[in-house]
Structure formats: C-alpha cells, structure tokens
Structure 1
Amino acid sequence: MKAISLLQPWASLIATGAKKIETRSWATKYRGPLAIHASKGYKAKNLDMAWKEPFFAALESLRVTEENGDVSIRFPHGSIIATCNLVDCVKMTPEFIDFVKSANGHEYDFGEYAVGRYAWILEDIKALDNPVPAKGKLSIWEWDGELL
C-alpha cells in the first residue's frame, strides 16, 4: 500500500476525519489507497498548535485527563494511524482557495493554502484502532506492513 508521512498534529487531524485535504507543494498522479503515517519526528511549535482552536476541539478524541487532573494530548508517532483513498490532486487557484475558506468546518485552518500549491483530496478515511509501527519516508512510499 502507498503511504505518506505527516507530522503531528496533521496526521491525527486526518485520522480523526477533521482534515480531508492534505496540502502539498508538489503534485502526484497517484490515486488509490493511501496509508497515513505519523512521523516519528516532531516540531514543538507544531504540537503547541494542538492546544489552540480549532485544533484543540478537533483533537478531542486524543485528549487524556491524568489522575492529577492534568490534560495531555496523546499523539502517535512512528506509526501508520489511518487509511484513506486519495481521489484527486488539485492545483490551487484563487477560486479553489475561496471555496475551501467558505466551506463548513475548519479545513482551511488545517492546511497551507496558496495559489500554485496542491490539494490532495482524501475520502473514506478510517482511523486504525491500534497504530502500526513503521519507519516513514519522504514523498509517497511503499508500505509493506499489515493492518492489524
């Protein structure tokens, strides 16, 4: 199965179904099943965004309240966390960006929208019950593992 590695919180936003468009600087001709891999590495500034709206609400299912009352967000890393179908890759135009901005939800907030970038349209997103450890790679890559 083809796979793509994403940093958190974007990988989990896709897994929760809050994000259905992956924005990229490059196009792909690939269409079909795609595994979503949560990269092992992370950037603290990206994870800090998870505590701000609209990220915080979208990631509610990953929040855990500790016995002492502290709240944490449990992000899987270094694992396949969801599957989906990549159904289209659209070059962004001003009209496309305006459409995404005007749509319900927070899709626009969860991506990098600029004319000339690409929107990968994802459908049939299914989070895995148990993340499957995997070593990620750049670009689209072939994942030979099995879904548990």
Structure 2
Amino acid sequence: MKAITIVQPWATLIALGEKHFETRSWATKHRGELAIHAGKKIDKDACDQPEIRAALVRHGYTADNLPTGAVLATCNLEDIYLINHHAEHMRLATSINEQGLIDEVFEGDEYAFGWYEEGRFAWKLSTLRKLPTPIPAKGQQGLWNWEGSHS
C-alpha cells in the first residue's frame, strides 16, 4: 500500500478524523488506499495554534504525547484539487481528476489544518481507518510503499 509521511500534529489530525484534506506543493496520479505515517518531527508551534490545540485536546493529545515514527491510519485518497483561489474566508479548489473539473469549497477548521495557497494541491482523504495502535515504521519523502499490516 502507498504511504505518506506527514509531520505532527497534522498526521494525528488526519488519523482522528479532524482533517480531511492534506495540502501539498505537488500532485500525484495515485488514487486509492493510502497509509498515514507520522514522521519523527513535531511542529510544536503549530500545536499551539488555537484550532489545532483544541482539536488535539478533544482527543487527549498535546505536543508532548503525539505518536511519531509510526503509521497511524489508512484512508482512501479520493481526489486531488488544485487550489485556484485564496481568500480570507473561502478557499476554492478545482478537481484535477479525469472526470472533469469539480469545484470544492473548504470550510471549518480545514483552514487552520492546511496551507491553502493558490497553486498548491489539496488531497481529499476519505474512508478513514484509525489503527488500534500505531505501527512503527520508517518514513520517506514522497509516496512510498508500506508493507505493514493494517488490520
């Protein structure tokens, strides 16, 4: 299964079902199953942002107890959107899938959980399956193959 390594706290926000889009500077043709791997780095400044801190606290997490170096969840990479408008209260993106152009508006805490700058990409994640316990794994840059068990 393909996997992606994500800096904390964003990997945990995805695993908890709080974050539904992963923003990246690059797109991929991959669609389907994707493992969410928490890298070893924790952005403690991000953990102090009010929306992120509140989401983590709701689930009993702080910057001091986030899991690192492990796969936390699997999900489905459903689609990728090109961010084509950046405004204070609305981010509009256009799907770049083969079915044609579809607009998506990002709402709620997604603003605080991603980097929605024009020209970046929002990866729509669905069908989240949080693992009962994190599975230690060494991550990599870009998409990589994870051979671990996800049952």
TM-score class, shorter-chain normalisation, is 0.7 to 0.9
Q: Higher helix share goes to which structure? A: 1
Match in the other structure for 1:37: 37
> What's the counterpart of residue 45 of structure 2?
48
Give the aligned partner of residue 131 of structure 1: 134
User: In percent, how many aligned pairs have the same letter?
Assistant: 45
Q: Distance in 2 between matches of 1:120 and 1:63?
A: 24
Q: CA deviation at 1:145?
A: 1.1
- Per the TM alignment, residue 51 of structure 1 is displaced from its structure 2 partner at its CA by 3.0
Structure 1: which 5+ residue stretches go unaligned?
65-71
Tell me if 1:93 matches 2:84.
yes
- TM-score, normalisation: structure 2: 0.82
Structure 2 residue ranges without an equivalent (≥5): 93-104
The one-character-per-residue Cα deviations of 1:66-124 (angstroms, maximum 9, x if unpaired) are: xxxxxx74100000001100000111111771422xx2x20011100111110100001
Aligned mates of 1:128, 1:22 — CA distance in 2: 19
Q: In structure 2, what is the Cα distance between the partners aligned to 1:74 and 1:19? A: 19
The residue type paired with residue 52 of structure 1 is Q
Equivalent in the alignment of 2:12: 12
The Cα shift of 1:146 comes to 1.1
Q: Which residue of 2 aligns with 1:68?
A: none
Q: Match for 2:51: what amino acid?
A: P
CA distance in structure 1 between the aligned counterparts of 2:50 and 2:84, rounded to whole angstroms = 26
Measure the CA separation in 2 of the matches of 1:107 and 1:86: 16
Matched, 1:113 2:112: no
What TM-score, normalized by structure 1, do the two folds share? Answer: 0.84
Corresponding pairs, count: 135
Q: Give the counterpart of 1:74 among 47, 62, 65.
A: 65
Moved over 4 A (4+): none
Pick one of 105, 122, 127 that aligns with 2:125: 122
Q: Whose strand fraction is larger, Structure 1's or Structure 2's? A: 2
Q: CA RMSD in A?
A: 1.8
The 10-residue stretch of structure 1 (26-35 or 49-58) with the greater mean CA deviation from structure 2: 49-58
Answer whether contact 1:62 1:73 (CA < 8 A) is retained. no
Letter in 2 for 1:90: Y
